[in-house]
Amino acid sequence: MSINPFSLEGKTAIVTGANTGLGQGMAIALAEAGADVCVVGRSEPSETLDKLAATGRKSHSILADLGSADSVEAIVSDAKSALGGIDILVNNAGIIKRNDSIDFTFDEWDSVMNVNLRTLFFLSQAVAREMIAADTGGKIINIASMLSFQGGIRVPSYTASKSGVAGLTKILANEWAKHGINVNAIAPGYFATNNTAALQADETRNKEILGRIPSGRWGKPSDLGGAAVFLASSASDYVQGITLPVDGGWLAR
C-alpha cells in the first residue's frame, strides 16, 4: 500500500500568530492533514483552538510576546512537553508599521524587525537544535511577503524584514539540509484578512489591486493551506531554500 506523501499523521507543528487570518488557515490545514498543532501568540486563540478541535487533532496554545526573543526557549520547551516533539515550525507572526521613510522612527523600525526577523531567526534556531538533537529532521516554513520581491512604499522596516526572511530561508536551508531539515518560505499575495480590510473597503484601491491579479480575486486564508501542507510534508523533501509566492499571479503580471 502506498504512503500518502502529503500526510502529516504523527507529526507535531508550531504555528506562530495563528489567532486569525493566514496563521489560522495554515494551522487548520496542517491539522486536517494529520498534525497536532501548537499555536503561539499574545492572546488566547479561542476561535483557532475550536477549529482545531473540530479536526480531531490535539492542539495546545502558548501565550508569548514575540516582540522579544527572550520567550523562545520557553515556547520550545512548552510545545515539546505538550505535544511530545516538534516536527514542523511555521513562522507566521508578523507586524507592520506605515510611515514615510523620511519620517520613520527608531521604534517603528525596531518593533517590526524584532518580531518579523529577530524572533523568527532565534525560534528557528531553537527548534532546529531540538530537531538535530532528536535526529528526526523537520520542516521550517517562514512566511515572507510580496515585499520580499518588491519595495512597496511607506513600509521600510517591513520590506527590510521580509527581504531578510527570504535571505534567512536560503542560508538556513544551506546549513541545515545536512540534518534533514527543510527550510522554505511562502510569500502570500493580497489576502482578505483583518489586516487588509481597509484596502478592500477602498473602492479605488480594491479595483487597482484586483486589476493586477490574474486570478481576479483576493486570496482566502484557506488558499495557503495547500502550500503549507506541501512544505510541511515529505512531498517537499527535496525542496530547499525557496520562497513560494501564493499570489494569484500578482508577481507574474
Active site (catalytic) residues: 158
- What is the number of residues in the chain? 253
80: left (phi over 0), alpha (psi -120 to 50) or beta: alpha
Q: How far apart, in Å, are the Cα atoms of 142 and each of 8, 22, 80, 120, 157? A: 18, 12, 20, 8, 17
Q: What is the DSSP string of the chain?
A: ----TT--TT-EEEEES-SSHHHHHHHHHHHHTT-EEEEEESS--HHHHHHHHHTT--EEEEE--TTSGGGHHHHHHHHHHHHS---EEEE---------GGG--HHHHHHHHIIIIIIHHHHHHHHHHHHHHHT--EEEEEE--GGGTS--SS-HHHHHHHHHHHHHHHHHHHHHGGGTEEEEEEEE-SB-SGGGHHHHH-HHHHHHHHHH-TT-S-B-GGGGHHHHHHHHSGGGTT--S-EEEESTTGGG-
